[in-house]
Structure 1
Amino acid sequence: MDAFLESVHFRHACKLFDRDKKIPQEVLNAILEVGRLAPSSFGMEPTRMVVFQSEEAKESLQTLCWNQPQIATASAVVVYKVLCQDLNPPSAYLAKLASRKAPSKESLDGLFNVLKQHLKTRGYLENNIFQWGAMQAYIMATYMVAYASYLKIDTCYMEDFDKAGIESYLHLDATKEQVALVVCFGYRAKAQQERFRLGLDEIVEYK
């Protein structure tokens, strides 16, 4: 088994971390850098991260995550928030990012037209543009979790949280930014439990 596949087997939803074992800051920075370099649709980079490390901050966040122990015991907790209003073309934000690849007005207009059609076809209109942004946040988080597992760092994806509560805690304007996902990073406090997965023959078909 190669090293990466071994790390995939290592990963599990860690429900309790070793509170006393901390991720070195340089290692955490490397995990965050992997997130920064992760792909996003149309290269629009809509995801922002808020890293909770202090005990006080994690305890505040824990109350907004159904008091689950992994929040308080993790070495670091990353809250992924995504842009909303700025993802509707045309916007100054999209123009700034797109100008890196489409410097002329004509090419920028062409890109916006393609992006508008894409969003319309997929059903990501103005009132649910958050869903498109959230998909990009999951891509970023998955890259980070995979890299963390490769480093033998445990993780836990979390979707069961008070979304509006966290947004209020972070003083977010929900028309501009919303919280998509929470992921804990740290070192397990107990042995990994048995995992159950369907077989490849149950989930894959070839044409």
Structure 2
Amino acid sequence: MDTQNTVCKNKFLEGVAMRHACKEFDEGKKIPTEQFEEILEVGYAAPSSFGMEPTRLVVVRDTKAREEIRALCWDQRQITSASELVVFKTLKTDLLAHTNYVQNAFARKQKTPEQIEAYKKRYGSYLQARGYDDYTIGYWAALQSYIIATSMMDYASYLGIDTCMIEGFEKQELESYFGLDKEREQITLLLAFGYRIKPQSKRYRIDFSEFVQYK
């Protein structure tokens, strides 16, 4: 299966085929406000493990802030040239089973006190079984932000909007720039949105039969 070179009548798959890590954005072309709001709504509706919703998004539009952030992101020009830049940050220690945050997360589901305690016990057992504690909970939280980012990227490509996921940055310095309490929060990735200047390069993938196996 070659989704890049095959003409596809499915608009979503067409979007998937056009998606790539766009390194050069057209600075003169801006995403319509309504469409970007839809992209954010898709991120808001994306799933998270146990429904913990640990991810928070910061949309950076200030020109000076973009330049300062670019300096902490290996001078990647997508930071300043993209129409929209979103910084993903996640909670960390608030996700531990004993916290008020977890209590409130389950309470939002309109569970009885007994059900909440049962869910908290199950949740705590899950974290323990996976080895997530004060020091490693941030790793699990980061995985949740990638779920949201992927959903947003897929919808953006469906709209014909290009994206670039950015993982190359000075983590400690960037978190300090945003004034984060590093015990409680972290920055996991950045996501740039806009429109490409150059044509998409050829996509090199393993064979579909190698990617998918049936038993």
The TM-score with structure 1 as length reference comes to 0.97
Find the partner of 2:173 among 151, 165, 178.
165
1:44-123 correspondence to structure 2 within 5 Å: 44-101=52-109, 103-123=111-131
Q: In the TM superposition, what whole-angstrom CA distance separates every residue of 1:4-38 from its partner, at most 9, and x where no partner exists?
A: 11100010000010011111222111111100000
Q: Which residue of 1 aligns with 2:146?
A: 138
Q: Which residue of 2 aligns with 1:5?
A: 13
**Cα RMSD over matched residues?**
1.0
Q: Give the whole-Å Cα distance in 1 for the aligned partners of 2:106 and 2:202.
A: 46
Measured after TM superposition, the shift of residue 85 of structure 1 is: 1.3
Query: What is the aligned length?
Result: 207
Q: Give the whole-Å Cα distance in 2 for the aligned partners of 1:33 and 1:101.
A: 20
Q: Which residue of 1 aligns with 2:208?
A: 200
Measured after TM superposition, the shift of residue 102 of structure 1 is: 5.1
Q: Give the whole-Å Cα distance in 1 for the aligned partners of 2:56 and 2:109.
A: 22
Measured after TM superposition, the shift of residue 69 of structure 1 is: 1.0
Q: Give the whole-Å Cα distance in 2 for the aligned partners of 1:159 and 1:40.
A: 20
Measured after TM superposition, the shift of residue 100 of structure 1 is: 2.2
Measured after TM superposition, the shift of residue 109 of structure 1 is: 1.1
Measured after TM superposition, the shift of residue 78 of structure 1 is: 0.7
Find the partner of 1:151 among 135, 138, 159.
159
Q: Which residue of 2 aligns with 1:17?
A: 25
Instruction: Say which is worse superposed, 121-130 or 7-16, in terms of deviation.
Output: 121-130
- Structure 2 unmatched runs, 5+: 1-7
The TM-score with structure 2 as length reference comes to 0.93
Measured after TM superposition, the shift of residue 101 of structure 1 is: 2.3
Q: In the TM superposition, what whole-angstrom CA distance separates every residue of 1:99-136 from its partner, at most 9, and x where no partner exists?
A: 12253222111111111111112222221100111010
Paired residue secondary structure (1:82)? strand
Which portions of structure 1, spanning 4 or more consecutive aligned residues, are displaced by more than 6 angstroms? none
Paired residue secondary structure (1:126)? coil
Give me the identity figure in percent.
48
Q: Give the whole-Å Cα distance in 2 for the aligned partners of 1:27 and 1:55.
A: 21
Paired residue secondary structure (1:80)? strand
Q: Give the whole-Å Cα distance in 2 for the aligned partners of 1:168 and 1:26.
A: 32
- Structure 1 unmatched runs, 5+: none
Paired residue secondary structure (2:102)? helix
